[in-house]
A and B are shown apart, each in its own frame.
Chain A
Amino acid sequence: MARVEVEGLTKRFGRVIAVQDFTLEVKEGELVSLLGPSGCGKTTVLRCIAGFERPDAGRIIVDGQVLNEVPPERRNIGMVFQTYALFPHMTVADNIAFSLMIRGRPREERERVVKEMLSLVHLEGMEDRYPHQLSGGQRQRVALARALAMRPKVLLLDEPLSALDAKIREELRGEIRRIQKTLGITTLYVTHDQEEALALSDRVVVMNMGRIEQVGTPAEIYNAPRTPFVAMFVGTMNLLPGRLESDGRFLWKGTAFQVHRGVEIHGRGEVYLALRPERLKIAASPDQIPPEHNRIPGRVEWVTFLGPIGRLTVRSDGETLLVDLSSDEAIRFPVGSPVWIHFHPESAHLVPKESG
């Protein structure tokens, strides 16, 4: 178990700046994910920590020790790759025991650790299989076991589930979290899948164009995005551009809303009002709306059935808003029907227009 500090990390590839001034502290036993679209620099951060890339500026510190000059093989940091990277010519047991073999540990210890690790990842009895005889999910379990066998200080996972089917992905996601908690290992997890990041992490780092957009718990990231990018990237969001008045009201196309959230925004000016589709409610007429609620009139343009929920696309004054209702409720508002969207002031959140 170890604390990981990244200080002012910058990495350029030719003229492209992959990561710029990235600073993060990961506490002992914490699982932090780096979330962002492809090319946002999240993998580069991970590769710098692993030692595969040399930072152009900044420091990588694990347990107080600066690792910049330490080669990857002496960092004792475990890594799991998107493509598994199992050694194809070795059995499952030999793959898992690789780090121990390199360190010259005796056979009994190797066999014991292989058994331990296989039971940890629920692959008992698979010792003698070869990687090509395993399914994708099983391969990634072996890769995880192999990375953990040497008791690394830190575990790095680079999109470990991206190559897997949705069903297996969800199952293995839970497994990774369980194993991480069991061992209490400090973990960094790179993903472009916001649902995965929210479901797994103690904290999420949202990245865009090589920079950190926001760091916070999954709930903070989801409920209180601080930049338009985070608001749009994580989950589904309605963003209404408007003006914040000095009396605290939000003006959108001549309509004034009472809003309470987004207290870090001071004074007045151009802002976005961020509304989660599931926080919005629909009424057929204004007299059904509680008096403290804000309201937007509109017309149902489309209804999408998503299983447990029905997603209404509502058109209002040239703007399109998404509203999630339970499927049963959604049926009551057919395409073309006039509706009122309404929401409690606590359900809205203000996001500054310019990031940073």
Chain B
Amino acid sequence: MIRWILFVFLVLYIVVPMLMPVIFSFSVFWQDILPQGFTLRWYEAILTRPANYEALLVSLTVASSAVLLNVLITVPAAYALNRMASKWGQRLREGAMILPLIFPPLVVGTALLQAFTRPPLALTGTLWMVIIAHTILGFPFMFRIVLAAFQTIDERTLSEAAASLGANLWQRMRYVLIPNVLPGILSGALLVFAISMGEFEVTSMVAGFTAQTLPLRLFQQIRNDMRVASAITAFLIYVSFLSFMLMSYLGARMRRLRAL
């Protein structure tokens, strides 16, 4: 019984605050205890007000690019590192996963600012800078998932079987390994996407006026128009929630394959 009460409190504590912007985003008016009216006006405002719409586009561009770059980086990196059997390989695997997680965003932001202010890499304030930052922020998460995928499918034996049947490295990747680690890649990609869509701290440090993402815009809107702000917030909640749902589905698929 006590356990249930605690559980209910937990739900109230965590879920209800998260629901507030969602409720607010659909209501015309909310000043008393209960919100009044139902409207999609605030969501419309995301698409119709140019500043909002552009921020959405920037965010989608940045998130997609960060996903694409991370796919290109993590898949070969996880393949190679999974192959390193030595103690050093083991340490490298652990290091690569933890290192970026232990630095606070503020530190990462400062480091990026210092790294990319001088020519030929004077990228600070540009869209590129934001993409690079989000790629770096997403990398450890995606790498962890993709590496786990390579580990669970017994990549070495599958590769050897494919090689003995005449497949070269490219064909082994294309026909055997990628299809089997795909749930992991998609899972990682979703996580990178979700992280990128919601990232604020580092972005606020490295982005200039040309690269205002949705969360940056949201931060402005909180002071200007709380209702549009809650629509943006709600939208970001949907992105996170959907990503999470899809990831658990993919995780279940991975486990089914692993049962083989």
Contacts and interface: CB of A to CB of B under 8 A. Distances in A.
A143 B162 CA distance: 11
Contact of B157 (A73, A85, A147): A85
Contacts of A51: 163
Contacts of B260: 88, 131-132
A103 interface: yes
Interface stretch (A75-83, A164-172, A189-197): A75-83
B160 A52 contact: yes
23 contacts: A50-B164, A71-B163, A71-B168, A73-B166, A79-B164, A81-B160, A83-B154, A85-B157, A85-B158, A85-B161, A87-B162, A88-B153, A89-B180, A89-B257, A98-B165, A101-B175, A131-B260, A132-B256, A132-B257, A132-B259, A147-B165, A150-B165, A156-B164
Given A83-B157, A87-B158, A89-B180, A73 B163 contact: yes
Interface string A43-56: 00000001110000
Given A83-B154, A88-B257, A99 B160 contact: no
A86 B257 CA distance: 12
A103 B166 contact: yes
A146 B165 contact: yes
A131 B175 CA distance: 16
B174 to A, nearest CB: 10
Contacts of A156: 164
Contacts of A99: 165-166
A131 B168 CA distance: 23
B166 A85 contact: no
Interface of A: 50-52, 71-79, 81, 83, 85-89, 98-99, 101-103, 131-132, 143, 146-147, 150, 156
B171 interface: yes
B176 interface: yes
Nearest to A139: B260
A72 B163 contact: yes
Chain B interface residue number, banded: 20 to 34
B166 A102 contact: yes
A98 B162 CA distance: 8
Interface in B152-201: 153-154, 157-158, 160-168, 171, 175-176, 179-180
Contacts of A87: 158, 161-162, 175-176, 180
B180 A88 contact: yes
B179 A72 contact: no
Nearest to A146: B165
Q: Which of A76, A89, A156 has the most CB of B within 10 A?
A: A89
Q: Which of A76, A88, A143 has the most CB of B within 10 A?
A: A88
Nearest to A83: B157
B180 A77 contact: no
B167 A102 contact: yes
Interface string B225-260: 000000000000000000000000000000011011
Interface string B115-159: 000000000000000000000000000000000000001100110
A45 to B, nearest CB: 15
Contacts of A81: 157, 160-161
Contacts of A50: 160, 164
B179 A89 contact: yes
A87 B260 CA distance: 10
Given A88-B180, A89-B179, A89-B180, A73 B158 contact: no
B256 to A, nearest CB: 8
Given A85-B157, A87-B158, A78 B257 contact: no
A142 to B, nearest CB: 12
Contacts of B161: 79, 81, 85-87, 143
Given A73-B163, A87-B180, A102-B165, 6 more contacts: A79-B160, A89-B179, A98-B162, A98-B175, A99-B166, A102-B167
